[in-house]
Amino acid sequence: MHEDRSLEGRVAIITGGARGQGAADARLLSCAGAFVLVTDLLEDEGQALCREIGESAVFVRHDVTNDEDWQNVVSTALGLKGRLDVLVNNAGIHWSKPLREESVEGFETVLAVNLIGPFLGIRAVSGAMEQSGGGSIINISSTAGPRAFRDTPPTAPQNGDYGVCPRWRPPNSAPSASASIPSCPVPLIRR
C-alpha cells in the first residue's frame, strides 16, 4: 500500500504518458491519489496503461503540437473532474544527427514536439489552473539541455524548455510551481 496520498483529489495531465518515464509518472501520481489523464499518440499503449492503473486514470489521444488537441485534453479534465492541478510536459522525441546532415525540417520537428508542445500546454492549462487556485507544471528536459553533446545538435533547443518554458507560469495562481528538470526518476510534486 502506497502511503503518500498527498495528491488526493488532484487532477494531473501527463503528456507522452503511454510508456517510459511518462507511464512511470502516471503510476506514481495515481498512487499518490491523483486522477491522471494519460495523453499520447500511442493509443494502444495508453489504453493498456489506464486499464492497469484503474479508475483513477483515463487515456486521451493527444498530439502535443496541436493546439486543438490541447483544448480537448483540458476540456476532458474539467468535464470529468471540474479542476486541473498538475501538468507534466513529458512528451518528447530524441533526435540525433550530425550537424551537417541535419535538415531544417528535422530541426523544426524537434522544436515542434519538444519546445512548442510544452508552450502550447502551459498556455492551454493556465486558465483552468488559475480557477483551481494554482497548480504545478513540470517540464521534463534533459541533462543535454544546458550543454552540447557531439552529433546531437538539436538536443539543446530540444530542451530549450530548460530556459524558456519556466518563464511562463499561470498568472495569479499562487501557490504555483513551474520547473524544468532533467529526465530522471525522482518524485515530481511538492505542494
Ligand X SMILES: NC(=O)c1ccc[n+]([C@@H]2O[C@H](COP(=O)([O-])OP(=O)(O)OC[C@H]3O[C@@H](n4cnc5c(N)ncnc54)[C@H](O)[C@@H]3O)[C@@H](O)[C@H]2O)c1
Between 23 and 84, CB nearer to ligand X: 23
Residue 180 in contact with ligand X, rule: CB under 6 A: no
- From 94, 98, 151, 171, residue interacting with ligand X (rule: CB under 6 A): 94
Residue 62 in contact with ligand X, rule: CB under 6 A: yes
Q: Name the DSSP class of 160.
A: G
Residue 76 in contact with ligand X, rule: CB under 6 A: no
Distances (CA, A) of 161 to 23, 27, 155: 21, 24, 11
Residue 30 in contact with ligand X, rule: CB under 6 A: no
C-alpha–C-alpha distance, residues 119 and 146, integer Å: 18
Residue 33 in contact with ligand X, rule: CB under 6 A: no
Evaluate the CA torsion angle 161, 23, 106, 100 in order and state its sign: positive
Residue 41 in contact with ligand X, rule: CB under 6 A: yes
Name residue 146's amino acid.
P
- From 19, 81, 83, 97, residue interacting with ligand X (rule: CB under 6 A): 19
| Candidate segments 19-27, 28-36, 78-86, 161-169, binder of ligand X by CB under 6 A | 19-27
CB 145 within 8 A of CB 98: no
In three-state form (DSSP H/G/I as H, E/B as E, the rest C), the secondary structure along 122-183 is: HHHHHHHHHHCCCCEEEEEECCCCCCCCCCCCCHHHHCHHHCCHHHCCCCCCCCCEEEEEEC
Residue 85 in contact with ligand X, rule: CB under 6 A: no
Residue 64 in contact with ligand X, rule: CB under 6 A: yes
C-alpha–C-alpha distance, residues 43 and 30, integer Å: 19
C-alpha–C-alpha distance, residues 28 and 36, integer Å: 10
Between 132 and 166, CB nearer to ligand X: 166
Least Cβ distance, residue 76 to ligand X (angstroms): 15
C-alpha cell at 26: 502516471
Residue 177 in contact with ligand X, rule: CB under 6 A: no
Asked whether the bond before 166 is cis by omega within 30 degrees of 0, the reply is: no
Residue 130 in contact with ligand X, rule: CB under 6 A: no
Question: Which x/- pattern over 98-127 shows residues binding ligand X (rule: CB under 6 A)?
Answer: ---------------x--------------
Catalog residues that contact ligand X under the rule CB under 6 A: 15-16, 18-22, 40-42, 62-65, 90-94, 113, 140, 142, 183
